[in-house]
Amino acid sequence: MLRTIWVAFVAVFASITAGSAVMVVAVFSSASPLIDSLTRWWARSILFAAGIDLHTEGMEKIDRQKRYVLVSNHYSYFDIPCILVAVPQPIRFMAKASLFKIPIFGWALGRAGFIPIDRKNRRTAVKSFDLAAARIRKGNTIVIFPEEGRSRARQMRPFQRGAFLLAIKAQMPMMPIAVDGTFDVHPVGAKRITPGKVTVKAGEMIDCANATLRDKERLATESRAQIEQMIGVFGTSESRRSELEAE
């Protein structure tokens, strides 16, 4: 429990410090490399406090000069800082719109070019994906969790199609990313944080040049298969399957 309290304290301190600095830097340029340095410092601070031993595999496949749509599995709140530290790209996330209302932290997200999305409002969600495509063209790599929420089981939830429509719209390559280990550190509903090893793995790039709307299912299937292979867990979360059947 002391670890959890310590992580919460560090997260608040790092968010206020980095967030304030980001807002100052963003006044001059929301694309400044200093923003990426600040977000990585924020992420490293949290991972250090949590006792996460971060490793990477396959990052040499990512061309630092190119930009991507990264799609990843989602187990834990720690997935985001792990990806920020592990992936050598100027990353921006699509995040829940409610996060942008948090004082300092949320304001900094907006100033830094992170993208709010309210998936319950189709009209604003479409605008968010248009904004994400524009961010890619301006030189950022966009990370999306196609499960649209954290999985309560080791199996991934069903993939939604927004990430793949974005890759098609932007005509940018897609890179599957697997975060392996955060389920053991802090799964959904856990009250305690358990220090441990986390590995962020890069899959094989999926070329989306000339892809059309008819390719979205193929892109979803290919990226999911790669992520399942990297985390070694196959199938669909039964809890999420039940939710879908009930809808």
pLDDT single digits (tens) 157-181:
999 888 898 888 888 899 999 999 9
Spacing of C-alpha 99 from chain mean position: 14
Measure the CA dihedral 36/39/45/46, to 10°.
-140
CATH code of residue 45: 3.40.1130
Q: Please state, in angstroms and rounded to a whole number, the distance separating the CA atoms of residues 215 and 213.
A: 5
Q: Are 74 and 94 in contact (CB under 8 A)?
A: no
Please tell me the pTM assigned to this model: 0.86
Spacing of C-alpha 51 from chain mean position: 20
- Burial label, 118 (beta-carbon count in 10 A; 0-12, 13-18, 19+): middle
Residue 81's closest CA among 51, 58, 59? Answer: 51
Rg (CA), the chain: 17
Q: Residue 60: beta bridge partners?
A: none
Which of the four pLDDT bands, split at 50, 70 and 90, describes residue 243?
very low
Query: In percent, how much of the chain has pLDDT > 70?
Result: 92
Backbone angles phi and psi of 117, in degrees to 5: -140, 130
**Residue range(s) defining the domain that contains residue 193:** 2-246
Helix (H, G, I), strand (E, B) or coil at 57: strand
pLDDT single digits (tens) 71-128:
999 999 999 999 999 999 998 887 777 788 888 888 888 888 787 777 666 666 677 7
How high is the pLDDT of residue 80?
93
**Looking at the 3D structure of the chain, how many domains does it have?**
1
Helix (H, G, I), strand (E, B) or coil at 237: coil
Q: Are 224 and 74 in contact (CB under 8 A)?
A: no
Average pLDDT of the chain to the nearest whole number: 87
Q: Residue 79 belongs to what H/E stretch?
A: helix 79-86
